[in-house]
Amino acid sequence: MKFGVVTFPGSNCDEDMVYVLETIMGQQVERLWHKDTSLKGVDFVVLPGGFSYGDYLRSGAIAKLSPIMGEVMNHADKGGYVMGICNGFQILTESGLLQGALLHNNNQKFICKNVYLKPATSNSAITKGLDAAKAYKIPIAHGEGRFFAPEDTMKSILDNDQVLFHYVNEEAQVSDLSNPNGSMHDIAGICNPGRNVFGMMPHPERAADAALANEDGKRFFESILKYC
């Protein structure tokens, strides 16, 4: 599979993602610049974490206007795979590729720490290969990660089984104490109704190398490669 990793001004997790996909997972990777007007034949687009355009206005609000995003949206509309992590998730909601919004954390502070996630569905390429009863330790690093959606939108997301991950404790139990940012329904990631666009706040690419003493994130990429 050929992956494309997009770099916006202010991205800072693009090379982390390239390293995991290329070196750890052995995949072909194309580096895409935000001003590009071609996806260069990639099968799977990744919008990485960081602070695109300094997070001015709202996180992702300016990045959605970059030339590359027109091609990303066309790719998604045709059923192509797109994944946004952290700032990439914010860009996907701003561009309308995913429902809802990412608001300021409920404590109004930037949070950088390890959290635990549990798959909420097996009906997705990124979760199908995961253990639904396991808590996966994945780092977060965000100031605007509180998932919010209006009541009717949230009902649609829940009814359509679009929630990918919940924040949980180390025993894989959903708990308010395990929710780091106040996200509705403890949501850490969702997909679109077509199930080809994924967004999540935690960073699996930061937990995919044995040198970091945590390879829980590698399981997410293994699932993608097996089921996409």
Q: What is the CA radius of gyration of the chain?
A: 16
- Which one of 86, 142, 144, 166 is the catalytic residue? 86
Separation in Å, CA 63 to CA 42, 56, 66, 188, 198: 20, 10, 5, 21, 17
| Residue 228 falls in the annotated catalytic set | no
CA 183 to chain centre: 15
Walk across the sheet containing 187-191 and list its strands: 28-33, 2-7, 44-47, 81-85, 197-200, 187-191, 163-168, 111-119, 136-142
| Residue 205 falls in the annotated catalytic set | yes
Vertex 163 angle, CA 136 and 33, to 5°: 80
- The answer to whether 215 and 184 have CB atoms below 8 angstroms apart is no
| Residue 86 falls in the annotated catalytic set | yes
- Which one of 71, 94, 144, 205 is the catalytic residue? 205
Question: So which residues are the catalytic ones?
Answer: 86, 203, 205
